[in-house]
Amino acid sequence: MSRYYDRFALPAEMRRPFSVYDRLSVAGIDRAAPPDPGPPLSGQRLASVVFTESGLVYLSGGSAGITPVDDGDAAVATAYEAGSVIADQHFLILHHALTCGDEGGDLDDVLYPVKVLGLVASPADRPFLRAPEVVNGYSSRWHSVFGGTLSEQATDGVDPGGVGGMHARSAIAGIEGRFALECEVIVAIPSELARLIIGRRGWLYPLPDPVRARLRPMAGTR
């Protein structure tokens, strides 16, 4: 694990016994690096990631799929897969946000996801009752990478890697839009790392241009 995770007080039984990056590789998730030290904030309307001194980290919603979801099994299965796509996007964004400075943090320092909000696009003229099933596509990916009962590594609901990817969640249908699913997530990292990130490069990712310019030479040598 990483040093911030190792120093954080957690019950021994709930510590991850594996590197998150090993599970990313098993899941076939490519973590190709963005331009050092990440994309510019200029021209963006919203931040992708906001760090707080408490250690809570907020990730903006990501969406996938091109059409709303109806009750058909095929449509639900396609939207479920869209959840995996969004989760993979969030893993990469969070990896880049944690590693673009010189603090030494990475995904192995994520303690656990805290809360997921899943918004399912579905026809407004009739009820859609399968929103939790759709959003399971997003949740199960977190379980597979960080540990949990829905993990691909689990047998009879037990993941030998633990429960580090389990989270609270809301799943809401009836959203309008040209997508199938949008998900946002809040995760927890050690407050020690969060305060260091904020003190050195601020609370936003992508980075503001002046901070990005200062970090660029440093990032090029990592």
pLDDT tens across 35-94, in order?
567 788 888 899 999 999 999 999 999 999 999 999 999 999 999 999 999 999 999 999
Answer yes or no: are the C-beta atoms of 59 and 184 closer than 8 Å: yes
Residue 78 in any domain: the answer is yes
36 domain residue, yes or no = no
Whether 43 is in a domain gets the answer: no
Specify the pLDDT at position 37: 73
Residue 146 has pLDDT above 90, yes or no: yes
Q: Measured between alpha carbons, how far is 99 from 104 in angstroms, rounded to an integer?
A: 7
pTM for the full predicted model: 0.93
Q: At 193, which CATH number? A: 3.30.1330.40
Count of domains forming the chain: 1
221: confidence class by pLDDT, cuts 50, 70, 90? very low
Is 34 part of any domain?
no
String of b and e for 143-178 (b: at least 16 CB within 10 Å)?
A: bbbbbbebbebbeeeebebbbbbbbebebebbbeee
Rounded to an integer, what distance in angstroms lies between the CA atom of residue 136 and that of residue 160? 20
Question: What is the model's pLDDT at position 34?
Answer: 59
Whether 149 is in a domain gets the answer yes
46: number of Cβ within 10 Å: 9
Q: Beta strands 181-188 and 112-121: pairing type?
A: antiparallel
- Comparing 20-24, 25-29, 66-70, 165-169, which segment has the lowest mean pLDDT? 25-29
Residue 181: which domain range?
Answer: 3-7+18-26+48-219
Q: Among 30-44, 67-81, 111-125, 169-183, which stretch is predicted with the lowest mean pLDDT?
A: 30-44
Tell me whether residue 58 is in a domain.
yes
